[in-house]
Amino acid sequence: MPELPEVEAVCRKLRLALIGAEILSAHVLRPSVARPQQPEEIESRVTGQIVQGVRRRGKNILLDLSRGDTLHVHLRMTGNLYVVGDVRFRSAATRAYFELTDGRGLIFQDSRLLGKMHVYKTDEIARVLVNLGMEPLDKSFTPDWFINRARASRKPAKIFLMDQSHVAGLGNIYAAEALFHARIHPAKPIGNLRKAKLQELHGGIVGLLEAAVESAYNAYATPGQFSEGAFFPCAVYDREGERCAVCQRMIRRIQQGGRSTFYCPGCQR
DNA sequence: AGTCACCTGATT
DNA sequence: AATCAGGTGACT
């Protein structure tokens, strides 16, 4: 499931493969991925443009094009975006594909159809992503900023971490792992935590994401769907009933916001 | 703040 | 056949 590290890996791959490439033709096969935009709008606007930049904001992928448009892609749960040698190699789950003038192709596949693809003027992107919070791998994501932001909220720690308007890019897996790392119970109101705890959590988020970006990039060699879980062994995620590697207690699963949260009742109090 | 819809493939 | 997976936005 693509969270920030997987999306970053996709962007790095695309950056190497796609900068300078010209779009010969565009084909949006599933109108639902473009909604409320029309497939024809995306197709006609991107055709003939050159990919000038690949950016990531949170879990959003942004392809900046030469005539002032930006293709915005969100992979959601099962999406993937990658370059192939020939568009005839596209999978059955392909929802949109782009032929490049050099013969290669850009494929957007998404088995569950939850992913999104839209085209905007590049200067509209800031407005489109206005609700996205801080980039956790930016220099400006400081312990002080995080502590102040967290202290202004009484939400359960896990809910706060998954809220993209605070820190952009954490999903169910890395939120749970970061909380385990900082030994914080996922249901604990985040604003009630001591400064030292929040500092630990900040460090855990950054360290975890940095490591995950590297392993995601190395593991993501071939196109296809992202495999289960993260690209490195999780301490708690999807390990209900197994023993915690630190304290040997049984890892638990609870529901938060309708989703599963995994945690260790011994380490996280 | 909590719940549901969006979807389909994997699992039970 | 029923349930679960979860990122996000719309809804109550």
* Tens digit of each residue's pLDDT (9 = 90 or more) over A24-56: 999 999 999 998 899 999 999 999 999 999 999
Q: Which uninterrupted H or E stretch holds A213?
A: helix A195-219
Confirm whether any atom of chain C, the nucleic acid strand, is less than 7 Å from CB of A59. Answer: yes
Is nucleic acid strand C under 7 Å from A171's C-beta?
yes
Residues 6+ apart with CB under 8 A from A33: A95, A96, A108, A110, A113, A115, A116, A117
Can you list the positions of beta strands (E) in A216-269?
252-256, 259-263
Instruction: Count CB neighbours of A192 within 10 A.
Output: 12
Q: Would you call A189 a catalytic residue per the annotation?
A: no
Q: Is A59 noted as a catalytic residue in this protein?
A: yes
Confidence band, pLDDT 50/70/90 cuts, at residue A1:
confident
State the pLDDT at residue A231: 61
pLDDT band at A7 (very low <50, low <70, confident <90, very high): very high
Among protein residues, the one whose C-alpha sits closest to the C1' atom of B8 is: A112
CA distance linking residue A42 with residue A87, whole number of Å: 18
Closest nucleotide to the alpha carbon of A76, via C1': C7
Instruction: Check whether residue A150 has its CB closer than 7 Å to nucleic acid strand C.
Output: no
**Whether the model pTM is above 0.75:** yes
Which residue gives the smallest C-alpha to C1' distance to B2? A257
- The values of phi and psi at residue A124, to 5°, are -90, -15
Is strand C within 7 Å of residue A3 (CB)?
Answer: yes
Residue A230 predicted with pLDDT over 70? no
For the beta sheet containing A51-57, the strands, ordered from the edge strand earlier in sequence to the opposite edge, are A51-57, A60-65, A69-74, A116-121
Tens digit of pLDDT for each residue in A129-181?
A: 988 999 999 999 999 999 999 999 989 999 999 999 999 999 999 999 999 99
In this complex, the answer to whether residue A112 has its CB under 7 A from any atom of chain C, a nucleic strand, is yes
Residue A92 is encoded by which pair of tokens?
A: 């059955």
